[in-house]
Amino acid sequence: MAFQAKLPSDAVLKISNSGGQTHLTLQSDGKTQSSSVSSGEWKASPSLFDSSDGLILKIEGDDAHYTAIKDDSIQSLSDVPDLKDAKQLSLKEISDADAEIPHIKPIEPLKPMKPMAPMKPIGS
């Protein structure tokens, strides 16, 4: 099971869980940032909140895990954030395959340069 959200900044957040690991992928302006947390299997679907502190993702696995998404970056939180006045945002369920980071073909190695021609002596 995986989820996706389009964030107010037009970035796309993808969330998936496999083998007790929750994987987060944030795609913005052609850049991709990934993070993972040992959450255990999910006990409930993830929740995304828009709070006064920015976007907060709540993952309920073995324990509750909170992640802040600010300025198109992912940061794990050690304290429970105040979500009392936060607005819950919708997450769209997607396939696990759609949650994976697309693999980019590696760049081919450069060909060696031709040797330089011998230098002419100075003053000739």
d(CA 24, CA 28): 13
Supply the Cα-derived Rg of the chain in whole angstroms.
22
Q: What is the dihedral of CA 6, 14, 26, 51, to 10 degrees?
A: 60
**Per-residue pLDDT tens digits for 9-57:** 888 999 999 888 899 999 888 888 888 888 899 999 999 999 888 899 9
Domain positions in the chain are 2-99
Q: What is the DSSP string of 82-121?
A: --TTPEEEP-EEE-HHHHSPPPPPPPPPPPPPPPPPPPPP
**Per-residue pLDDT tens digits for 62-108:** 899 999 998 778 899 989 888 888 999 999 988 776 666 555 566 78
pTM of the model: 0.74
